[in-house]
Amino acid sequence: MPDPSAITHLIKEEAYRLGFSFVGIAKAEKMDEEARRLEAWLNQGMHGQMGYLANHFDKRTDPTQLVPGARSVVSLMYNYYTEKQQRDAEAPRISRYAYGEDYHFVVKRKLKSLLHFIREKAGAVEGRVFVDSAPVLERDWARRSGIGWVGKNTLLIHPRAGSYFFLAEIIISLELEYDGPIKDHCGSCRRCIDACPTDAIASEGYILDGSKCISYFTIELKEAIPEEYRGKFGNWMFGCDICQEVCPWNRFSKPHEEPAFEPGEALLAMKRHEWEEITEEVFQELFRHSAVKRTKYEGLKRNIAFLKKENGQHDD
């Protein structure tokens, strides 16, 4: 078997070459404390209609259930921050992470390349790659591996780069050198808690009621958005970046260097009335390779209609 220190160095070097910003490694083991927290969160119904979050509980909290003989969890961060914005300040808004090509495909391609590299260097290794699409507690693994702390807004924050990152993991049956958690630097700051218009973040932080989050309403919820939230969406039609926009640590955010995440000119140029009149044909053209397809045309239309009423507009 290869020397853990040497192969760890090679893996991190290759990950950076592939475009990942940060890499950390944790020992693959059962997550007892995280399991208790997840169970309490589910029991309080904070997952709303996201029933899939209650599925495969054992797999979520034990990496050996996902990869037999798992020894290491490699956590990686891929930057998606951009300073580009939709030009019409009154247009319904899309979260930055969905500006370009669907991150699941972009990041997974790079993960598969990294796993192939590991097998080239270390021989027959059991392994699987994950990008926000399997029962993996990605923020907890990232925290354990020292590439950030979980902030009061429940997002992973890197002390030199902020939180505009996709998280990804490779679980492998290979012993590596392990990193340790870093300190929480949120301190007494409450900006994300106070800024959240739907009070989704607990008063002391660190717990997010997913069933109250604007991202949940605009992406996950399949039925009508509850009327009690009218006037609280701040013009977000897909996702929400409020708790990241107010976070002081995001002053360190730097624009990504991933061409696939660049927003199309047509997306940035669309005016409010064009969004309100969007046809299915335009939707399919704009979001052919985008994560926005998740909400489907009818879902986006529902969200835009909700915002239209929210802003006091009425159809003629």
**Which residues are catalytic, by number?**
132
CA distances from 98 to 124, 219, 309 (A): 36, 12, 24
CB 43 within 8 A of CB 194: no
Picking from 283, 278, 303, the residue whose alpha carbon sits closest to that of residue 222 is: 303
Tokens of 121: 């260097």
Residue from 153, 147, 161 nearest 189 by CA: 153
CA–CA gap between residue 20 and residue 57 (Å, rounded): 29
Whole-angstrom Cα distance, residue 94 to residue 238? 5
* Apex 211 CA angle, 208 and 212, nearest 5: 70
Classify residue 2 by burial, with Cβ atoms within 10 Å: 0-12, 13-18, 19+. middle
One-letter amino acid at 48 equals G
What kind and span of H or E run contains 26? Answer: strand 22-27
C-alpha to C-alpha distance for 112 and 130, rounded to whole angstroms:
10
Mark out the alpha helices in the chain (DSSP H runs). 4-17, 32-43, 57-61, 103-122, 138-144, 191-195, 214-215, 242-245, 265-269, 272-276, 280-286, 296-310
Q: Where are the beta strands (DSSP E) in 68-189?
A: 72-79, 93-94, 127-130, 149-150, 156-157, 165-172
User: How far separated are the first and last CA of the chain, in Å rounded?
Assistant: 72
Distance CA 53, CA 36 (A): 14
